[in-house]
Amino acid sequence: MTRRPPHIGVSFHRTCMAIVGSLLASVAGYAAAQTYPVKPVRLIAPFPAGGSNDLVSRTIAQKLGERWPNQMIVDNRPGAGGNLGTEIVAHATADGYTLLMGSSQLAVNATLYPKLSFNAATDFAPITLVGSSVHVLCVNPTVPAQTVKELIEIAKAKPGQLNYASGGAGSPLHMNAELFGIMTGTRMIHVPYKGGPPAVAAVLANEAQVVFGSTTTIMPHLKSGRLRALGVSSGKRSRVLPDVPTIAEAGVPGYELVNWYGIVAPARTPPAIVSRLNTDIVWAVNAPDTSERITAAGVEPNTSTATQFSEYFKSELRKWGDLIRTTGLKP
């Protein structure tokens, strides 16, 4: 009788044990998803209270309270350009009870900060997109430009004499302005502030003359006439500002940058829990009352599957990485 070599039997046994282990993990994850959440879920908002990231987080958390037996708690952990709160989630237990309200800044920081304690590409499990917001190219009324083309003409005629405010180096406001400068061949002086609202306040005070502001922050000042909107950063007109042209149609063909929001969990969170979270969060975002509140905050609701969000995030890492390397930006 021919005997099977001993190593084949060991290999077969290990393969069987691996399969059994995988099945048991799947069953355990499925069982956990059926009762999830059995305790409060913490949603980390890595930016200060009052901003769009915080407002979207709290709106979704409140709605989920109608569906879950346990409350979702929003925990603001601002600092280091969003990296402080992001780091907490990256190193949290992968059980679905610590989540992150991510944004475009997550993709920006992956290249902007070369020495992070986490890897944005591998340390998170995307759950769903929840929305996106445009940035609005605004000027102080003392600037005579009424259109994007006129602003470009002024900037070219007086290189280095216009200041633009941002929420800090590498912030979406900064990246929008840098891309604008590259695509139009203009040079304005960057003046960074500690967040979007202070940047807008600087333009209101004429400390700077130009800003790419979030709709959440600039809307009251557009209505009062203290700021003038020239164009929006999205590829199509914003539902929030339908009368303002896109920057692309106003004279810079191909220009497009938006700020997105999406919820992620630590990597290795059980797929069944990711699926449960996706179902519940998508329901919450698309509920009419939630959608209305998010839109009022200047964010257009936009949900996805976990797979769609994962692919989109990969493309965002490439896009922002290319832009940062091209401009040579440093934190």
* Res 296: pLDDT: 83
Among candidates 85, 298, 81, which has minimal Cα distance to 194?
81
* Res 169: pLDDT: 80
* Res 51: pLDDT: 79
Q: What is the mean pLDDT of residues 238-255?
A: 93
* Res 328: pLDDT: 83
The percent of residues in the chain predicted with pLDDT above 70, rounded, is 90
Q: What is the mean pLDDT of residues 202-225?
A: 92
Q: What is the mean pLDDT of residues 217-228?
A: 92
What average pLDDT does the chain have?
Answer: 89
Does pLDDT of 149 surpass 90?
A: yes
Cβ-based neighbours of 318, under 8 Å, separated by 6 or more: none
Per the listing, tokens 């020495």 go with 115
**151-185 residue pLDDT tens:** 999 999 999 999 999 988 888 889 899 999 999 99
* Res 31: pLDDT: 56
* Res 16: pLDDT: 53
* Res 4: pLDDT: 54
* Res 84: pLDDT: 95
Question: For residue 79, what is the enclosing H or E element?
Answer: none
Q: How far is CA 275 from CA 28, 283, 292, in A?
A: 14, 12, 25
pLDDT band at 15 (very low <50, low <70, confident <90, very high): low
pLDDT band at 284 (very low <50, low <70, confident <90, very high): very high
Does pLDDT of 27 surpass 90?
A: no
The structure's pTM equals 0.80
Q: Are 284 and 293 in contact (CB under 8 A)?
A: no
**62-91 residue pLDDT tens:** 999 999 999 999 999 998 889 999 999 999
pLDDT band at 196 (very low <50, low <70, confident <90, very high): confident
Q: Which domains does the chain have, with CATH numbers?
A: 39-132+259-327 (3.40.190.150), 135-232 (3.40.190.10)
* Res 9: pLDDT: 59
Question: For residue 292, what is the enclosing H or E element?
Answer: helix 288-296
Q: Are 261 and 249 in contact (CB under 8 A)?
A: no
Cβ-based neighbours of 79, under 8 Å, separated by 6 or more: 46, 85
Does pLDDT of 7 surpass 60?
A: no
Stronger pLDDT, 233 or 216, i.e. the higher one? 233
End-to-end CA distance of the chain: 71
Does pLDDT of 13 surpass 80?
A: no
